[in-house]
Amino acid sequence: MPDIINVIKGCLAGSRKDQELLYRRHAAKLYAVCLQYSGNDDEARDILQEGFIKIFENLIHYKNEGSFEGWMRRIVVNTALEKYRSKHNLYRVDDIDSIPEPDASPETDDYSGLEAGDLLMIIRDLPPKYRMVFNLYAIEGYSHKEISQMINISEGTSKSNLSRARTILQKKLSLYSGMNKKIISG
Amino acid sequence: MVNNEANIDLLFRNGLRDLEVLPPADAWNNILPVIRRKQRPVILLRSAAVAAVLLSISFLAYKWSREFSLTPVNPFSAYENAVQPVDNPLSGRAARQLPFIVNDLTDQRTVIKNAEKKAITVSASEEVIPQHAVEYLEVPDNSMIPENIGIPVLASASTGLRYRTAAIDAGFAKPAEIIYEIPAEKKDRWSLYAGASPDYYMRPGLKNNEVPDQIYRSEQSRISYSGGIGFAYKINRKLSIQSGVYYASIGNEVPGINSFAGFRPFDQTKGDHNFEVVTASGRIYTNNSDVFLRDISADRVLTRYTNDVFDPVKSELSYLSNSLYQNFSYLEMPFILRYKIIDKSIDFNIIGGVAYNFLVSNNVHTVIDGNRYDIGKTEGLNPILVSSSMGMGIEYSITDKFSLNLEPTFRYYLNPFGDVPGVKIHPYSFGVFSGLSFKF
């Protein structure tokens, strides 16, 4: 299997084979990121496609420093951000109260039964503005100041959105956890 | 509570880290055509640009060559004086000589006389002077050159026809041999030159890279200059190679950064620099502890002394300027090939080659009342830049040894100025190099 440097060189030279190879290698991981940032599959697919187009266009600017996968991920996240900025006014904000309370609070934070797919589903259920802030803060590691600049909100709003996102996630985790326990216990 | 929040964050961060989901099967089919479409215009644009440059050069060269060739100058006039020296004792006799053609089969000689386009046949018994004697060419235009002027040529230059001298006057059959010296070709293979050029730098935009592009677009190139000395070696009549050492100074303006003086009494930190400014060429580090910097509209200034920590106006610092100026100085070693396409009193050349640019100094300053105020340095610059250049050269000979040069040159940098993530700028410049050269 050719190493990533050779694949990049091939892509830069316009090799269709290398372009497809690069896509096939990384599409699954990056599509998971797209799903994480989008509420529906169509939007995720758009982000993936636009993200890859940008990746190919900007390959010439990639310096062989740091993780190539990380570099690609940043481009995809930026694409998701652009998409969010372009239509965030259209998004509906669900009220936290509309989320049903769990039957009973779990005694401990035991979410061991949850798989990555469950977590993805939970995070995608978040209202877009909460999902965006949670993703940028908790997953990507940006500060509230950076997030405020990225999506044109104040730092206070960023903090508040994160807090609401966590509350919703906590509730949903408990629901999932409770459901899993019921299923296991029979 | 805090612990719980951190747990949720960690749960999602770790849980989603290695998640992979296969994208829809048709996703790649939608990506590929777009890549192809976007790649093509770049290639086409570059090809079109190269073609345009080459066409322009060819057109100019053609135009120049036409202008020179249409100039009504008698090409033989240079020889007139040489052939007819005032004190030439044979000039009177030579006036009566006419060239003729020897027919090898019949041994008849045909004298060519252009004035009347008639051929006069001379008998075979006429004595023919031996080879290496003075020979004459047909004079092409009677109106421009008197009939009695002969044009000497070397025997080896004849092509098929044998030109010999015949004497119409039977009493003068064998003139004394006259050897005319044809000026030898000049062998000035080396030349030294000195000159300078103002340069204007341009930089292409950064597509799809928002933050770096904003930084980049906020900056402006300043008129730069280069100058130096060099030498050239003439490989043959058309081709020469040149090199030398130039000093090039490149300027860049970073607007929107307010600078203040008088910060030293407030500087309580031990760090080696108080401010960093993110620019497209690299990161500026202040080395002047008296300076305070503040970004007006963006977040290019990184410092401990943020707006909520220190207010330069309340602290009554002296306002300096709202722009920073970066200066990069390079020693440039070019390797240029020069091809002469018109070799006249004004020569016309095509020049092209590469140059290695070694960074020798860089500084950042601002200007207050016409005086420089040092700020610091730019870090992260490439110490060696490689540039390619292409241009035209016009050379006007003032004397045999000295000539004036004018060279409009386009230059493209093959590697970027600095190592800024997401900002790899390959600038290009246009300059008109003018100078004086001395041949030896």
Q: What is the pLDDT of residue A99?
A: 54
**Residue of B3, B208, B213, B307 for testing the chain A interface, max A β-carbons within 10 Å:** B208
Average pLDDT of the residues of chain A = 82
CB contact under 8 A, A149 and B299: yes
Q: What per-residue confidence (pLDDT) applies to A4?
A: 82
Instruction: Output the CA torsion sign for A158, A164, A167, A169.
Output: negative
Q: B35–A78: do the CB atoms touch at under 8 Å? A: no
CB within 8 Å: A23 and B31: yes
What is the structure's pLDDT at A60? 80
- Alpha-carbon dihedral A37, A39, A42, A46, rounded to 10 degrees: -20
pLDDT of residue B356: 93
Confidence of residue A161 (pLDDT cuts 50, 70, 90): very high
- Cβ of residue B25 closer than 8 Å to a chain A Cβ: no
Query: In this complex, is the C-beta atom of B127 within 8 Å of any C-beta atom belonging to chain A?
Result: no
pLDDT at position B95 is 43
pLDDT score, position A181: 58
Q: Apex CA B12: angle with CA B10 and CA B16, to 5°?
A: 120
- Asked if B212 and B439 touch (Cβ cutoff 8 Å), the reply is no
* Residue of B141 and A133 predicted with greater confidence: A133
Report pTM.
Answer: 0.44
Task: Evaluate if residue B321 carries a pLDDT over 50.
Answer: yes
State the count of interchain CB pairs (< 8 A) between A and B: 107
CB atoms < 10 A from the CB of B367, how many? 14
Are A75 and A67 within 8 A, CB to CB? no
Please report the DSSP string for B4-63 in residue order. HHHHHHHHHHHHHHT---PPPTTHHHHHHHHHHHHHHHHHHHHHHHHHHHHHHHHHHHHH
Contacts of B348 (CB under 8 A, 6+ apart): B60, B61, B64, B340, B341, B342, B392, B393, B394, B395
Return the percentage of chain B with pLDDT > 70, whole number.
58
- Mutant choice from B20, B31, B216 vs A, greatest count of A C-beta within 10 A: B31
A143 in reach of chain B (CB within 8 A): no
A82 interaction partners in chain B (CB closer than 8 Å): 210
- With CB atoms and an 8 Å threshold, state whether B19 touches A114: no
A120/B32 touch (CB, cutoff 8 Å), yes or no: no
Cα of B43 to nearest chain A Cα, Å: 11
pLDDT top residue among B131 and B34: B34
More confident residue, B100 or B225: B225
HSE-CB at B246 with a 13 A cutoff on CA atoms is: 25
Whether B22 sits inside 8 A of A149 (CB atoms) is no
> Contacts of residue A166 in chain B, CB cutoff 8 Å?
5, 8-9
Burial B386-417 (b: 16+ CB within 10 A, else e): ebebbbbbbbeeeeeeebbbbbebbbebeebb
Give the residue from B8, B10, B308 with the most A CB atoms within 10 Å of its CB, the best one to mutate.
B8
B288: left (phi over 0), alpha (psi -120 to 50) or beta: beta
**Distance, CA of B384 to CA of B360 (rounded, Å):** 10
Residue B369 DSSP one-character state? T
Model confidence band, residue A136 (pLDDT cutoffs 50, 70, 90)? very high
- At A142, phi and psi to the nearest 5? -80, 155
Considering only CB atoms, which chain B residues are within 8 Å of A36? 16
pLDDT in the model for residue B65: 61
Beta-bridge mates of residue B165: B99
Can you read off the two tokens belonging to residue A57?
A: 């266009």
- The interface pTM score, or ipTM, of the predicted complex is 0.85
pLDDT in the model for residue B372: 83
DSSP result, B275-317: EEEE-SS-EEEE--TTEEEEESSSS-EEESS-TTT--TTTTTP
Q: For residue A13, what is the nearest residue in chain B, using CA coordinates?
A: B39
Closest residue in B to A171 (Cα–Cα): B8
Note whether A13 contacts B: Cβ–Cβ < 8 A.
Answer: no
User: Residue B70 has what pLDDT?
Assistant: 54
At B419-429, the pLDDT tens digits run: 666 666 777 88
On whether any CB of chain A is under 8 Å from the CB of B184, the answer is no
Element (H, E) at B211: helix B210-217
- Over residues A63-102, the pLDDT tens digits come to 777 788 899 999 999 999 888 887 765 555 554 445 555 5
Task: Give me the pLDDT at residue B46, please.
Answer: 60
Q: Is the pLDDT of residue B414 over 70?
A: yes
Q: Could you tell me if A5 lies within 8 Å of chain B, comparing CB atoms?
A: no
Which of these ranges, B28-32, B120-124, B193-197, has the smallest mean pLDDT? B120-124
Is it the case that residue B168 has pLDDT exceeding 90?
Answer: no
- In this prediction, residue B77 carries a pLDDT of 47
Digit-coded pLDDT (tens) for B175-223: 555 555 555 555 678 999 898 988 887 776 555 555 556 666 678 777 7
- Summarised one tens digit per residue, pLDDT across range B352-411 is 999 999 999 999 998 877 778 899 999 888 889 999 999 988 888 888 888 898 988 888
A15 touches chain B (CB under 8 A): no
| H/E run at residue B412 | strand B402-413
User: B47-98 pLDDT, tens per residue?
Assistant: 666 666 666 666 666 666 666 555 554 544 444 444 444 444 444 444 444 4
